Structure 1
Amino acid sequence: MIEPFLEELENRLDPQTEEALEAEWNRFLDRRFDGGIFRPRRRAAAPARLEWPSILINHALRDPELLLLRELRSVSDTLAAGSGNLLNIRCNYGTSILPSLFGVEPFYLDDDCDTLPTSMPLADGRDGIRRLVDAGVPPLDRGLAPKVFDTAAFFRARLEPYPKLREYVRLYHPDLQGTADVAEVVWGSGIFMEFYDDPALIRAFFELITAAYREFMDRWEREFPPLSDRFRCHWGWGHCGKIVLRDDSAMNLSPDMYAEFVLPFDRALLERYGGGVVHFCGRGDHYIDLLAGVPELTGIQLSQPECNDMEKIYRHTVDRGIPLFGLPLEAAEQALACGRPLHGLVHCC
């Protein structure tokens, strides 16, 4: 089923176009872009020659070939649009990959939603968390982990016979979230009272999650290292360092709590993997100054500028040499219209 689509993509891919686009990304990542807003584009679009199928995510999650076909359709759409996004795919099993190691139950939405599953927190709250901490780092033969690694091997094997796909379609690391996000998914919303009621257990659980992240990511790096020493890729944009962390849950914490409970674990992971980017939905301006002080931070990706004091965000990112990725174009244009310098460090799709 999938071979005609692999061959079609292989024939549409133009190495010169991809190399030119990567050169643009290199300029941006090396701080050599001197324009206002970084919005790369391919030199030419490459329209699809086949009609690509629409595959519901629930169906794709049950069949790695369907999942690969769904991921490759996004590659096809990128080429057809002449977009400036880099070509990438991932084992797209959602946000519960790392939480699944701790025994949470997945929750699949109806096909009509066509969105990734979530999971239900442990039913026994604090007692369940204590048992997890006492048990230590869970093995990687639990939950979604075996499926993720098997699917990655399947993806690599399927692309292997196609030299251009193998070279230019990056397999990027799965969504492991961040320490606080995983903790909230496993513990549930009751976790936020525990920052006051049982901070020692919070720290112990965060340490456990960070250790599990390291076990997972270390294996990922061993088994699926990048096929070249070029920069890494995530969500279609290039970045320095090996990881992208999610700090969505941190928006619910005060700066002092963020500094005590989240930042040390973010820093430890960024240090271990040679740097990386931190993403957050919602508000992050209340802790951006703390996060920006981590030397290994190589970028910020925020999805909702309207929830943030963007002047404060700019002061602690682009003014300090830290790029912003995927910023909505309207926000960047508004900054420039107000005379706000972006230092060539803001990427918009």
Structure 2
Amino acid sequence: MIVPNLSLDEKKRFLQRFWRREERGPVFYIGSPARNAFQGSTLPSFEELLNLELSRLMARRHILDFDIPALRTDFGTGIFPSAFGCPLRYEEGRYPWSEPIIFDDPSAVYRLRKPSVTDGLLGKVLEFTRFAVQSTEGKFPVKMTDLQGPLDIVYLLWESNNFFLALFDAPQAVHHLLNIVTELLIEFVKAQKAHASEVEFIPCHLPHYIPWGEGICVSEDLLALLSPDLYREFALPYLNALSDEFGGIFIHSCGNFTQNLDVLCEVRGLKGVNFGATETPFEDVVAKLGGKVVLSPHLGLNKEIRFSTVTEYLFHLKRVGQHIPFLYILVDTTNSLLGHDMCWRPEELEEIYAVFASWGDSHGE
């Protein structure tokens, strides 16, 4: 059974070499029930958030995978829009949702000032980061908050229909705002790392472990919506800027972004791609990026491409990616219509372990 029989420090060192493409995979993360999103119309207390995080970590101690236990600091995708003054809407069971502040007048972007890293919910993220570190006496690493990419943030600031029109009618205004957002992203990530103090700061909000200096993770959901020409013009320069600043970039995107695989090949310092294998066909990603960067499939909505069980999904990945060296596989049904709650029965975990045991020539062997 190929379960990582490694200490925590050995896992970290292995994963660092893996991101540098000095070790083979597959490495894998097995999901567990996530802590609930915010409930009600206000932010929960920091004490409540931290207790939920600690409970989440305790609940997955029996799972044998490449997870590095760390405290998450997610406050939802509205954190950067809130810093620009976007109103927030609170709904039961969801993170705060931001409303746009730019509508049919693209010149409004020139009246926006660059926020401080403490404005809006950004300040709450920093405060919670420091609180979590102090309250746990530095026992756990801290994960970077959910970082939307520059273009995704601009999209959230803009009413969606008018945003897409502006890509054609007011590209200079879009680029002006993209530059401001990119600068703010860089400043904020450095500020959050500073608030983590001497504790290890993991620049990824997803389950992956990425050591500092090996890149940064961003969510790029517009990757699935834009044509290659538009994505190349409005996303690529700003992803390159983040990659240059942080030693590489790891991109997450929902949806099917097959049309932009060639553009991803142009991202400087691309470390890897996380995608739903039930939306973006695994075969297409392997054909374009296999062996070049880390490929990290997860079980997406299970709608366009369907699997009846988790093991069927894993055997599909094995069949297509058997000889791909750099796979970081997520066994996670968080947003899937598959209907599994990830309260794994022992026999289910054994089945998952058995798939990876049958993979062969992995983990440096």
Checking the alignment, whether the CA contact within 8 Å between 1:172 and 1:233 is kept in structure 2 is yes
Whole-angstrom CA distance in 1 between matches of 2:219 and 2:237: 14
Pairwise CA distance, 1:296:
1.6
Q: Taking CA–CA contacts closer than 8 Å with sequence separation of 6 or more, which of the two structures ends up with the larger relative contact order?
A: 2
Whole-angstrom CA distance in 1 between matches of 2:37 and 2:120: 22
Whole-angstrom CA distance in 2 between matches of 1:79 and 1:136: 45
Match of 2:130 among 134, 137, 153: 153
Match of 2:290 among 276, 295, 318: 318
Say whether 1:100 aligns with 2:82: yes
Match of 2:62 among 56, 77, 80: 80
Checking the alignment, whether the CA contact within 8 Å between 2:109 and 2:176 is kept in structure 1 is no
Pairwise CA distance, 1:98:
0.8
Counterparts in 2 of 1:185-204, with a 5 A limit? Answer: 185-190=156-161, 191-204=163-176
Checking the alignment, whether the CA contact within 8 Å between 2:228 and 2:259 is kept in structure 1 is yes
Counterparts in 2 of 1:27-66, with a 5 A limit? Answer: 28-34=18-24, 37-39=26-28, 57-58=38-39, 61-66=43-48
Counterparts in 2 of 1:15-26, with a 5 A limit? Answer: 17-26=7-16
Return closer, same or farther for 1:34/1:269 CA change in 2, 3 Å cut-off: closer
Whole-angstrom CA distance in 2 between matches of 1:140 and 1:194: 27
Q: Deviations over 1:38-75 (max 9, x none)?
A: 2368xxxxxxxxxxxx8762268330010111111221
Whole-angstrom CA distance in 1 between matches of 2:95 and 2:150: 20
Return closer, same or farther for 1:326/1:239 CA change in 2, 3 Å cut-off: farther
Aligned length: 309
Match of 1:116 among 95, 98, 118: 95
Aligned-partner SS, 1:238: coil
Return closer, same or farther for 1:226/1:232 CA change in 2, 3 Å cut-off: farther
Tell me the amino acid that sits aligned with residue 145 of structure 2: P
Whole-angstrom CA distance in 2 between matches of 1:314 and 1:332: 15
Aligned-partner SS, 1:79: coil
Checking the alignment, whether the CA contact within 8 Å between 1:86 and 1:233 is kept in structure 2 is no
Identity %: 24
Checking the alignment, whether the CA contact within 8 Å between 1:99 and 1:185 is kept in structure 2 is yes
**Counterpart of 1:125?**
103
Q: Deviations over 1:95-127 (max 9, x none)?
A: 1111111111111112xxx232211112x5143
Pairwise CA distance, 1:281:
0.3
Using structure 2 for the length normalisation, give the TM-score. Answer: 0.75
Aligned-partner SS, 2:238: helix
Query: 185-194 vs 59-68, which deviates more?
Result: 59-68
**Counterpart of 2:208?**
237
Pairwise CA distance, 1:214:
2.0
Match of 1:142 among 110, 119, 133: 119
Whole-angstrom CA distance in 2 between matches of 1:236 and 1:136: 34
Using structure 1 for the length normalisation, give the TM-score. Answer: 0.78
Return closer, same or farther for 1:324/1:192 CA change in 2, 3 Å cut-off: same
Unmatched 5+ residue regions in structure 1?
1-15, 42-53, 161-165
**Counterpart of 2:306?**
none
Whole-angstrom CA distance in 2 between matches of 1:339 and 1:210: 35
| Structure 1 or 2: more helix by fraction | 1
Whole-angstrom CA distance in 1 between matches of 2:153 and 2:282: 27
**Counterpart of 1:306?**
278
Counterparts in 2 of 1:217-296, with a 5 A limit? Answer: 217-224=189-196, 227-228=199-200, 234-239=205-210, 241-296=214-269
Aligned Cα root-mean-square deviation (Å): 2.9
Return closer, same or farther for 1:242/1:65 CA change in 2, 3 Å cut-off: farther
Checking the alignment, whether the CA contact within 8 Å between 1:277 and 1:301 is kept in structure 2 is yes
Checking the alignment, whether the CA contact within 8 Å between 1:78 and 1:85 is kept in structure 2 is no
**Counterpart of 1:179?**
150
Return closer, same or farther for 1:279/1:56 CA change in 2, 3 Å cut-off: closer
Tell me the amino acid that sits aligned with residue 133 of structure 2: R
Tell me the amino acid that sits aligned with residue 155 of structure 2: E
Return closer, same or farther for 1:55/1:283 CA change in 2, 3 Å cut-off: closer
Q: Deviations over 1:300-341 (max 9, x none)?
A: 111x22322433311332232x01225346555324325763
Return closer, same or farther for 1:310/1:226 CA change in 2, 3 Å cut-off: farther
Return closer, same or farther for 1:268/1:27 CA change in 2, 3 Å cut-off: closer
